[in-house]
A and B are shown apart, each in its own frame.
Chain A
Amino acid sequence: MSSVLFDVPGPEGLRRQRRASVITIVVLVLLAALTLYKLQTEGQLDGELWEPFVTPIYIQALLEAALTTLQVAVVAIALSVLFGALFASGRLSDHAWLRWPATVVVEFFRAVPVLMMILAISLIYSEVIGKFWSLVIGLTLYNGSVLAEVFRAGINAVPRGQLEASYALGLRKGQVMQLILLPQAVKIMLPAIISQSVVTLKDTSLGYVIPYEELTNVGRAISIEFTNILPVAIVLAAMFIAVNYSLSRFATWLEQRMGRATGSQAELNVGA
């Protein structure tokens, strides 16, 4: 591997790199051994703590909870895309009376912690709409606002000449958007939308606080029964990593396939 920061190594450089690699690996192995030793001496590796993960009813409970989590995520993502499209067009509008309210709404929900939104909605409305919708609406307001910014940036990222050319050809505002800007913008935005889905999926775990019966909450319930929070947290993390990592890889693959790896899009999601 070469990069602008270093040359392709010669024989001496290779030796040095190999030595550094060996040291790194030794340090890692030591750390892993220390962790295992600590887990062992504190009895965290005992079979009974890991038992629920090989017991059918608990596996089923976890899978059902995972399904609930996916349901929340899918509904929230779908609504967020709608919300985002609506408010992005508001912010891109030529009319100030549309632009200003849309800007205020988007900026407000982006600045407020999503957990605080979910909590407030759940405390005030959950008797009317239930906890599922409290969670979904909280997630939608936040992720929809982030997506509104992604959409806006995507539309603005289409080269200005495209817009000018279509007006010069006599297309109307709606036609320019539908025929020229949107098809090109979607290509730019798609990876960012998928990354935002990963964020949404992670944020469903905030249902733990209100509390709603999604994956982390069910995990916590199991951990109270077996007093095995460490094993439970490790299994939960593994489940989330498996799904989210596949989604991220899909986004990267899509980005490469579309042949438009724009740095600005990566930056849009870095703060997630």
Chain B
Amino acid sequence: MDVLWESRQMLLAAFGQTISLLIVAGLGALALGTLLGAFRVSAVPALRAVGTAYVTVFRNTPLLVVFLLIYFGLPELGIRPPQFWLASLALFLYTSAFVCEAVRSGVNAVDSGQAEAARSVGMGFGQSLRLIVLPQAFRAVIPPLASVFIALAKNTSLVAGFGIADATYRMRGLINNNPGDVYAIFVGVALGYVLIVAVISLAARGLERQLEVAR
């Protein structure tokens, strides 16, 4: 147990790294994912194809391969941002596909009468999507979106394999240096992740309750 207390500052910094990755990649994925989701329900066949292709590629590729591609591949092309941004980019591209699917399922969950009514009062595709369907879809999207963000929080641990000092990276170091306390170290770091996951699901539940309306 002492190990955890002695290295508390290092562990807090490591979880700070984990949370920064989560926030940067998460916000980006929310934006790109929503855009791709709009593509996938659009009337324009080419845009639909773009959305479908993106989702197919990134949902079926392991995140680790995306990391190889971005983290080692981009520098080969002469694109050399700091490691943190390369890792965020990989997480962001991968997660966007899952956000897109969540958004699409949310749009499909909105009662079809709503969109019909929007069109019958003369709204176009963009208007009915922006003013009528998406605000309602947003509520339906919260639970699946929460799972996407929980998955992202856990997926940030992959950076440990690429030399970024996140919580998992520090756990490996601590276990290697303190063979007597391996279980305390494992449980301690694991509980940190459990806490992050719990915060995300509680926030989602709260948001869902706040947006609840009688239908």
Q: Which residues of A contact B (CB under 8 A)?
A: 1, 3-7, 9, 13, 17, 20-22, 24-25, 28, 38-39, 42, 44, 108, 111-116, 119-120, 123-124, 198, 202-206, 208-209, 216, 219-220, 223, 229-230, 232-234, 236-237, 240-241, 244-245, 248, 263, 266-267, 270-272
Contacts and interface: CB of A to CB of B under 8 A. Distances in A.
A240 B147 contact: no
Given A116-B193, A271-B144, A271-B147, A209 B43 contact: no
B177 to A, nearest CB: 11
B154 A120 contact: no
Given A209-B161, A223-B72, A240-B65, 18 more contacts: A5-B125, A6-B125, A7-B119, A9-B43, A20-B47, A24-B47, A28-B50, A42-B77, A113-B168, A115-B160, A119-B172, A123-B176, A202-B61, A230-B69, A266-B105, A267-B105, A270-B98, A271-B146
A120 B69 contact: no
Contact of A202 (B62, B69, B148, B160): B62
A113 B176 CA distance: 19
A263 B143 CA distance: 13
Interface stretch (B5-13, B80-88, B108-116, B207-215): B108-116
Nearest to B157: A113
A240 B60 contact: yes
B44 A20 contact: yes
A112 B150 CA distance: 10
A24 B62 CA distance: 28
Contacts of A9: 43
A267 B102 CA distance: 8
29 contacts: A1-B45, A5-B125, A5-B128, A7-B119, A17-B43, A28-B46, A44-B77, A108-B190, A111-B198, A113-B155, A113-B193, A115-B168, A116-B168, A116-B171, A116-B190, A119-B160, A119-B171, A120-B171, A202-B61, A205-B65, A209-B160, A229-B72, A230-B72, A232-B68, A237-B66, A240-B60, A245-B56, A267-B105, A270-B102
Report whether over half of chain B's contact residues are helix, strand or loop; otherwise say mixed.
helix
Contact of B65 (A114, A120, A233): A233
A38 B198 CA distance: 43
Contacts of B57: 237, 241
Interface residues of B, number: 68
B150 to A, nearest CB: 6
Interface in B10-63: 41, 43-48, 50, 56-57, 59-63
B165 interface: no
Contacts of A44: 76-77
Contacts of B172: 119, 123
A205 B73 contact: no
Given A39-B77, A202-B63, A220-B68, A271 B150 contact: yes
Contacts of A28: 46, 50
Contacts of B102: 270
A139 B167 CA distance: 19
A229 B76 contact: yes
B176 A263 contact: no
B182 interface: yes
B189 interface: yes
Contacts of A120: 171, 175, 182, 186
A203 B44 contact: no
B164 interface: no
Contacts of A202: 60-63
B65 A216 contact: yes
Query: 4 closest pairs, A vs B, by CB?
Result: A271-B147, A244-B60, A21-B46, A113-B157
A44 B115 CA distance: 48
A220 B73 CA distance: 12
A148 B128 CA distance: 40
B121 to A, nearest CB: 14
B129 interface: yes
Contacts of B147: 267, 270-271
B203 interface: no
A205 B64 contact: yes
Contacts of B125: 5-6
A157 to B, nearest CB: 16
